[in-house]
Amino acid sequence: MRRNGITALGLLLASTVAISPALAVDLAVSSIEVTQGFQNGSTGLTAERATMIRVKVAVTGSGAGVPGVDAVLRMVVDGVDWPAGPYFSANGPITAPLAPNSASLNHTLNFVVVPPQSSNVVFRVLVNPVGSVAESSTANNLFTSAAYDFKCRAIVDLAYVPINYTYGGMGLPPAAMTKPGSADNFLRGIYAVGEWNYHRSPMGNLTFSSNVNSNASGLLVALLDLQNSIIPDAGYAKPEFIYGFLPGNPYSGNGLANSTPGSVAFGNTEEVRWQRTFAHELGHLWGRNHNGETIGVPSIDVEHHLKDPLALGPLHASTKNDVMVAGLITSQAWVSSGTYLDAWTDQRSQCTAFAPEGEGDSPQSDAANAGRAMAPANERACLRIAGVFTHEGRGLALVPVTRFDRASPTIDDPAGDLSIETLDAAGGLLHRVRVRTDTMLESCAGGGERLPTACVYALVPAPEPAARVARVVVRDLRAAARPAGAAPAGVAGGAGAER
């Protein structure tokens, strides 16, 4: 009986194949998407960065999705077949849907490639390469893309500092949450620099003993000192960015950047949010303010960095928030075009023949904040003048002035609202630099809460050995603009003398 049953089934299958109009099915490539984290059709691409090619298959002659569809991809660089290919899909074979939607990862055949620097990178996709799906025509199976431009971007030096937070006895953050391949997983997915040189500060841990909620500026000044003088003075390269990790999340704002744009920040090690807080504070440092944007298009974490530890999928829905929406946790955010491009166009991510020792911000992306940057390749003995600016009443409390043997003086900011001036014994002006206090006004905790204070930091040239700075004066430039009779500003006034 059993034997007869099998025979009968075999006959039935054979007869079904014989009468089916299978050869009406035709497959072709309808389009490809090329993404490195975010792509809306006009977003620039970075050479030597992991890139996903998502291939949409056009299906005709079938009333349903076609199973068993795969493809092979070749990358042609400057007219030459790239020797690392051909590339096989990461997820094929798939059931090719009649109406592929980028919001579903497996509606497309996905390839991961690492293109070199070239303005002429062409992708050639051959669908159904071994004829495993019976087709009415294979003449249309080869797709050749337009040329893509993969541009050089810099290796960006990002040092991290474990903060030994002795206030309340909290101690150090977990090493597993600060190390490369963990803390940096979010920012690697969304900021398309050439490479992140993410490493521990060569100076090791930083002990901070006061309450970070009442002395956040003190922590930022310590990180700025590390970046601008202590690390370079010890013979190491000056990092473009420094980020400090607190144990847990003791700071009410989740994290804080020194300014927008800026160069140092700190944040938490709370598991559901720390990777996004890190990427968020870096967004401020690139020059981005808080916004209310959603990302708008389905986007891909190409190397699937955020698999750990939260098990997030590689595809981020178009309804997710930009990383610069304040107060979110990691699973709620990815990157919008504006934030993606701000990092991509920033001067610190550009390739230059001779990268300047200092740093600067992109004229394109940061024009509104021009002048905040440090001077490049201009190192000399400097006085560090820093303090806490209180917005309400416009008061400034300076910390003791410190002399650094090697640092780059802060560039004057014409938009600055404070003028920091050094005077000699006779009252003569030695140096003047203007800084802004209004670039970091809102708490990163969300809800639009205003920060009560801002970190003020300037490096001014130290006088020649024979000379002497008798006084440091900080003047409130807003005060002069006030109508006569208004209350005098609280900032004006001297600070301690320093040689």
Q: Which residues of this chain interact with Zn ion, rule CB under 5 A?
A: 444
Residue 80, SS3 per DSSP: strand
Half-sphere exposure of 259 (CA within 13 A, CB side): 26
Residue 74 vs 284, nearer CB to Zn ion:
284
Considering the complex, state which of residue 212 and residue 396 has its C-beta at the smaller distance from Zn ion: 212
Which is closer to Zn ion, CB of 444 or CB of 469?
A: 444
H helix or E strand, kind and range, residue 339? helix 337-345
CB of 285 to Zn ion, least distance (A): 10
- Closest CB 290 distance from Zn ion, rounded Å: 5
Provide the 10 A C-beta neighbour count for residue 5.
Answer: 9
Q: Is the CB of 444 or the CB of 456 nearer to Zn ion? A: 444
Write down the least CB distance from residue 265 to Zn ion, Å.
Answer: 9
Q: Provide, rounded to whole angstroms, the least separation between the CB of residue 417 and Zn ion.
A: 21
CA atoms within a 13 Å half-sphere pointing along the CA-CB vector of 289? 10
Kindly state the smallest distance separating residue 371's Cβ from Zn ion, in Å: 22
Give the number of other Cβ atoms within 10 Å of residue 416's Cβ. Answer: 19
Minimum CB separation of residue 388 from Zn ion in Å reads 19
Nearer to Zn ion, 243 or 404 (CB): 243
Residues 6 or more apart whose Cβ sits within 8 Å of residue 38: 190, 295, 297, 299, 334, 335, 336, 337, 340
Residue number with CB closer to Zn ion (96 or 216)? 216
Characterize the bridge pairing of strands 155-165 and 206-208. parallel
Instruction: Indicate the residue among 273 and 384 with the shorter CB distance to Zn ion.
Output: 273
DSSP letter assigned to residue 492: -
DSSP string, 184-251: THHHHHH---SEEEEEE-TT--EEE-S-TTT-HHHHHHHHHHIIIIIHHHTTSPPPSEEEEE-SSS-S
Burial of 395 (0-12, 13-18, 19+ CB in 10 A): middle
Task: Give min distance, CB of 444 to Zn ion, in A.
Answer: 3
Closest approach, Cβ 161 to Zn ion, in A, equals 19
- Residue 141 CB coordination number (10 Å): 18
Closest residue to bound Zn ion by CB = 444
The per-residue DSSP string of 4-53 comes to: HHHHHHHHHHHHHHHHS-GGG-EEEEEEEEEESS--SSS--EETTS-EEE
Q: Which is nearer to Zn ion, 211 or 291 (CB)?
A: 291
CA neighbor of 300 nearest in space, from 125, 43, 118: 43
Q: 391-395 long-range contacts, Cβ below 8 Å, gap at least 24? A: 391/437, 391/441, 391/450, 391/451, 391/452, 391/453, 391/454, 392/452, 393/490, 394/476, 394/478, 394/479, 394/489, 394/490, 394/491, 395/490, 395/491
DSSP code of residue 335: -
Please report how close the Cβ of residue 80 comes to Zn ion at its closest, in angstroms.
46
In angstroms, give the least distance from the CB of 277 to Zn ion.
9
In the complex, least distance from residue 326 CB atom to Zn ion, rounded to whole angstroms: 5
The C-alpha atoms of residue 27 and residue 256 are separated, in whole angstroms, by 52
Tokens of 215: 């002395």
CB nearer to Zn ion: give 376 or 446: 446
Nearer Cβ to Zn ion (306/326): 326
Minimum CB distance to Zn ion smaller for 57 or for 183: 183
